[in-house]
Chain A
């Protein structure tokens, strides 16, 4: 453990994160808060894409279900913890629904289905504007806190807990079997693994954390809207974050999310150019380091 480069990267990063409220202003705390929730989105997506090998273009389908589920329950008078639990359950049900075509279809066809799932969800939100707020968005009566510092603690704690669980899962026997099923279903089955069961589990875990993070984001922002939790541009951001940080590293997604959201803010003085510059940098990293930043750092010495 002491010889692992990951350990030496993680310790100072965690220290920096944990002490941030003492040396960062409320404005930047807010940016990091959002970035941390995106980090959980990215990690959940990486479990499906990097490990189970499923190209899911619809992470926002799962996030949106969790977010809107929690928001609707809150509007019905439920307290926040129960809303988060309820939203996650709805997201997991959505994950199972998404897994069914995934187990039958291959490659681009499954990807298309996941895209359609997102569009369907957006349509539903618009059609049932009476309860969902439609394109304007839905306000929630409760928020986690109005203090930037407290909100930061919530997000940081949530990120650390989710990151720990997902990281341990990825390095466990389950992660190994998932990688085998993602790489070659037939060979994995021939080794005696029930591919369907393991893929389904991956979808459920990914959906659980996506939905939970979606719900948390809603109670941080005080509103749920298509633009912030369902839109396809969020999917693109999640995918770039994972590829930038390093596919199949779980933690790389967090790095990518922080980079994308932080630099988008820092470069705001450039006006409209900021997204262009951030995308350009991300593109360069992907071209030069196909394994992503973290993937490059953690690469085994033998093959470097």
Chain B
């Protein structure tokens, strides 16, 4: 398509606030027929909100969304759908008691209360769509019996049924194998020739680079870069957001002599979410007193790894803690055994005060011990002292993160798992958090397993680094070698 074709979808000044949080701030883009735009950003950057605003699932506070010349901003979802926008959701929720064919037929039905039977052409069209997305062989099966990739095909088929002018695809390749990625890429590429405008929403440029014409990168609700995939990947701001700034490392000389015995030993760990494989033969180990960082982009499998260690998801493979297998123990017993996770969602008790949250963490300690621990933590995070009486839910994101870490430390863990502490935090907060972690590392014998997307944040504290990509550990080594060996390939 030539550059003079008028755009199918024009978004201008799109803004969405949730309470005090600005999730999307003045975002604008255009997609012409036959063009594929990638919308990327780390978790919490607002990219999914943009997609929901276009689909009408959320209503924008300001801005226009023009579809073929009509402003659809603020319309109800079903009208937007009828007007020519289709969405391929990341998670499929088909009707389980109906067959694949019936599920596709559902998407072809008119929005009428009085048409009791589908018209004859519907059946033919449903079969044609099934053929097109590669579901022809399983058309009479029920969704529960299908492999994961076929469920994604079904979502694609439902979105196609309306013959949409604009197709929104949420994380097109999450959970797919390399071969399946190729077929899905071909399917999405097919939209190009049909003159549809496509918006691909994903965590990172890498996974969509081969498919997109242009990429728009977001961070904290704002537009940070736009251009070809290569331009965006080499953009300074984008690199700072994903990797952080210049990489620093602080090796500790005395550590390796102490080591040898593994405190935590994970071997050949595999985890499936339904039919999607989230971890594939992952092996890591952490020695007592070590500070180990697991870095990888959102969706690589870090959180799944931590949840398996904490006993929150079923797995195959072996996880040994202090010489004994953890299999079969409840999450509570694992936590009492000394592995405390500070999850990326923080899971604070929002209506309780800062002090109450901390007291809950120290519930099992004797009073004198608890007071000592509390005093030490308030010294480590002075801001929490000032906020002691405030409800946790009203704290800023950075303060909440510090409280979550402090609460985890109240439990006096032998191993602290920190899952993406930098999620959605502004750079200045990162620095405070970084200083607290540095003090923790230098002044206490605690063992830490840190999961991060932000390499610059993770590396200065690390004694050893694992890189997780697409459900597998792809690199292991000390942080000094990371910059040289992984620096450019990471994004």
Residues of A bordering B, CB below 8 Å:
168-169, 172-174, 176-177, 179-180, 183-184, 186-187, 189-195, 197-198, 201, 248, 300, 302-303
Interchain CB contact under 8 A, B113 and A197? yes
Interchain CB contact under 8 A, A186 and B106? no
Q: Which of B55, B102, B113 has the most CB of A within 10 A?
A: B113
Chain B residues within 8 Å of A173, by CB = 109, 112, 115-118
Interchain CB contact under 8 A, B109 and A176? yes
Chain B residues within 8 Å of A191, by CB = 78, 81, 106-107, 158, 161-162
Chain A residues within 8 Å of B144, by CB = 303
Bound together, the chains give a CA A183 to CA B96 distance in angstroms of 10
With A183-B93, A187-B89 already in contact, the answer to whether A176 and B111 are too (CB < 8 A) is: no
With A302-B141, A302-B142, A302-B145 already in contact, the answer to whether A194 and B76 are too (CB < 8 A) is: yes
Interchain CB contact under 8 A, A300 and B142? yes
Chain B residues within 8 Å of A201, by CB = 113
Q: Is B312 engaged at the interface, CB distance under 8 Å to the other chain?
A: no
Bound together, the chains give a CA A189 to CA B107 distance in angstroms of 10
Bound together, the chains give a CA A256 to CA B109 distance in angstroms of 33
Partner of B77, one of A168, A177, A186: A186
Interchain CB contact under 8 A, B116 and A190? no
Interchain CB contact under 8 A, B98 and A192? no
Chain B residues within 8 Å of A300, by CB = 97, 142
Partner of B142, one of A177, A180, A303: A303
Bound together, the chains give a CA A183 to CA B89 distance in angstroms of 15
Tell me the residues in window 96-132 of chain B with beta carbons closer than 8 Å to chain A beta carbons: 97-98, 102, 105-107, 109, 111-113, 115-118
Bound together, the chains give a CA A194 to CA B141 distance in angstroms of 28
Bound together, the chains give a CA A179 to CA B111 distance in angstroms of 14
Partner of B57, one of A168, A190, A302: A190
Contact with A along B150-161 (1 / 0, CB 8 A): 000000001001
Interchain CB contact under 8 A, B77 and A183? no
Interchain CB contact under 8 A, A176 and B102? yes
Bound together, the chains give a CA A33 to CA B423 distance in angstroms of 64
Chain B residues within 8 Å of A177, by CB = 106, 109
Q: Which residue of A lies closest to B110 (CB)?
A: A173
CB distance from B119 to the nearest CB of A (A): 10
The dominant DSSP class at the A interface is helix
CB distance from B109 to the nearest CB of A (A): 5
Interchain CB contact under 8 A, A192 and B89? no
Interchain CB contact under 8 A, B116 and A192? no
Interchain CB contact under 8 A, A190 and B95? no
Interchain CB contact under 8 A, A168 and B106? no
Q: What bracket does the count of chain B residues touching chain A fall in?
A: 20 to 34
Q: Which residue of B lies closest to A202 (CB)?
A: B113
Residue pairs across A and B with Cβ atoms less than 8 A apart, 11 shown, are A177-B106, A179-B98, A183-B95, A189-B56, A189-B78, A190-B89, A197-B111, A201-B113, A302-B142, A303-B144, A303-B145
Q: Is B82 engaged at the interface, CB distance under 8 Å to the other chain?
A: yes
Interchain CB contact under 8 A, B117 and A180? no
Bound together, the chains give a CA A300 to CA B78 distance in angstroms of 32
Chain A residues within 8 Å of B105, by CB = 176
Chain A residues within 8 Å of B82, by CB = 192
CB distance from B220 to the nearest CB of A (A): 25
Chain B residues within 8 Å of A176, by CB = 95, 98, 102, 105-106, 109
Chain A residues within 8 Å of B102, by CB = 176
With A168-B116, A173-B109 already in contact, the answer to whether A189 and B81 are too (CB < 8 A) is: yes
Q: Which residue of B lies closest to A248 (CB)?
A: B97
Partner of B55, one of A169, A190, A193, A198: A190
Q: Is B87 engaged at the interface, CB distance under 8 Å to the other chain?
A: yes
Q: Which residue of B lies closest to A173 (CB)?
A: B109
Q: Which residue of A lies closest to B140 (CB)?
A: A302
CB distance from B120 to the nearest CB of A (A): 13
Chain B residues within 8 Å of A302, by CB = 141-142, 145
Bound together, the chains give a CA A168 to CA B116 distance in angstroms of 9
Contact with A along B62-92 (1 / 0, CB 8 A): 0000000000000011100110001101000
Bound together, the chains give a CA A179 to CA B143 distance in angstroms of 15
Interchain CB contact under 8 A, B116 and A169? yes
With A168-B116, A173-B118, A191-B107 already in contact, the answer to whether A180 and B95 are too (CB < 8 A) is: yes
**Nearest 3 A-B pairs (CB), nearest first?**
A189-B77, A192-B81, A172-B116
Bound together, the chains give a CA A179 to CA B82 distance in angstroms of 20
With A186-B77, A190-B77, A191-B158 already in contact, the answer to whether A180 and B113 are too (CB < 8 A) is: no
Interchain CB contact under 8 A, A186 and B57? yes
Bound together, the chains give a CA A248 to CA B95 distance in angstroms of 12
Bound together, the chains give a CA A93 to CA B318 distance in angstroms of 61
Chain B residues within 8 Å of A190, by CB = 55, 57, 77-78, 81, 86-87, 89
Bound together, the chains give a CA A92 to CA B80 distance in angstroms of 30
